Amino acid sequence: GAVVSQHPSWVICKSGTSVKIECRSLDFQATTMFWYRQFPKQSLMLMATSNEGSKATYEQGVEKDKFLINHASLTLSTLTVTSAHPEDSSFYICSARVGGAGGYTFGSGTRLTVV
Amino acid sequence: SQQGEEDPQALSIQEGENATMNCSYKTSINNLQWYRQNSGRGLVHLILIRSNEREKHSGRLRVTLDTSKKSSSLLITASRAADTASYFCATDGSGNTPLVFGKGTRLSVIA
């Protein structure tokens, strides 16, 4: 089946630093990747949609200059959290639609802790 | 944007009992899916029901969909302690659109 590999699975960083999260589609080409954020005891909220070769589209309230998304190839999308702050601590997870009929595949998620 | 509500927000039951979770959504959909998430972990896909289906079964899971009421329910029968997790419904539309998740139900099954 279609697999998205997400790395790192967890990261701890200092305030003010940047963190890059990668999602790779291993056995299919993902022209679009969806990025979600999940705060503790809350649901997954869509942050942005990345499209290969073009600019990402961001949901209302998500700072595009803070959450940089790059989708330079059909198999790699990255999310960089710049100048991270403790309030950015969250679970970040990527997803791609696979084929038709409602199929989606998810990365395993990245737990970001900013100290 | 958040699609809709799920209730209850939290549910605690004894092992062996049935657990019912409900989900409502706001817009027209192609499919509705249910996912499970253990604390701090990734998502596990449970079941998908299409907009033209009314009921679907998979093992101990039973999902219903009422498009006229824009609602769905997930029933877990004969619950086990290992069923303890958060459960989310998610809907998708046509085209290459993202899944939109409900707020989720935290289920605790007490042995």
Mean pLDDT across the stretch B7-35? 94
A43 contacts B103? CB cut-off 8 A: yes
Question: How buried is residue B110: exposed, middle or buried, by Cβ count under 10 Å (0-12/13-18/19+)?
Answer: exposed
Residue with tokens 């305030």: A15
Mean pLDDT across the stretch B47-75? 97
Residue B61 has pLDDT above 70, yes or no: yes
Confidence (pLDDT) at B7: 83
Contacts of B1 in chain A (CB under 8 A): 46, 59-60
Q: CA of B58, closest CA in chain A: separation in Å?
A: 17
| Cβ contact B87:B35 at 8 Å | yes
Nearest to A106 among B30, B40, B42 (CB): B42
| Cβ contact A32:A50 at 8 Å | yes
Q: Which residues of B touch A (CB under 8 A)?
A: 1-2, 30-31, 33, 40-43, 45, 48, 50, 88, 92, 96-104, 106
pLDDT band at B2 (very low <50, low <70, confident <90, very high): low
B99 contacts A104? CB cut-off 8 A: yes
Closest alpha carbon to B2 in B32, B27, B31:
B27
Confidence (pLDDT) at B96: 83
Residue B26 has pLDDT above 60, yes or no: yes
Task: Tabulate helix, strand, coil % of chain A (nearest 5).
Answer: 5, 50, 45
How far apart (Å, rounded) are the C-alpha atoms in residues B7 and A60?
A: 26
Confidence (pLDDT) at B4: 66
Using only the alpha carbons of chain B, give its radius of gyration: 13
> Which stretches in chain A have pLDDT values below 50?
none
How many other C-beta atoms lie within 10 A of the C-beta of residue A15?
12
